[in-house]
Structure 1
Amino acid sequence: MNMMFSVACLLWMCVGSVCGLQCFSGASSSYQLTDCRSSVTQCLKVTANDQTIKSCFDTTTVHQLVGLDLSLNDGCQTENTALYSAEYCLCSTDACNGSTASHVNKMFAAILFVFAAYIMM
């Protein structure tokens, strides 16, 4: 029985690791962790005029909609114009555009489950 539990945990870990990136999405402190489309490789956080928007980052859509020339590297950059000042941050790991709260990595959780099952044997 414990071996079956270990195998189930390993399968869960493998399935979770092939899923797409997860990013926080929403505006003004109403954020939810969402599964991004498989083509998305980065999360976005935009702060302008004391408002913050978080989402999955799709380079094609963003360039078409607003014409921004964002560097596609992880990190932040600031854009200042006569109308607004904004900071754009990109990152490439699950939930990286969230708050400073820590998020449990699926791989780490699965390893803990397997270790606990092994100890219980």
Structure 2
Amino acid sequence: MSILPSLLTGWLVDRYGRTPIAAASSQPESPPPRRLPRLGWNLGLVSGTAMITDAVPLATRAKNRGMADVSIIIAGATGGFSSSLVVSASGYPVLALTGGLALAVLPAIATSASSR
């Protein structure tokens, strides 16, 4: 059953473009229904991997996609493990503060990347 959303998302990415679908993956500020975060994650993942695929030469495409997939898996596992440690040691408020501080760095990273 989990492949069905990816098939639909892949079609949407091909039909409407990578960037609009990646933008649609962001969630609204109000609490969404339970399944919407999974949909947003799927939209972001499929459109992002399509962007990676488009950005690299055909000769290295499989290697780069594999590295991107492994990086996503490692980042998810590291985030899940470390957030569990933070919550068990300090609680959810500290986790939320840490996440907020990490998000505050993103504009600086985006500005730095776009100036290259």
Specify if TM > 0.5: no
For the aligned pair, the TM-score class normalised by the smaller chain equals under 0.3
TM-score w.r.t. length of structure 2: 0.26
Tell me the TM-score normalised to structure 1 length.
0.25
Higher relative contact order by CA 8 Å / sep ≥ 6: 1 or 2? 1
Q: Find the structure with the greater CA-based Rg.
A: 1
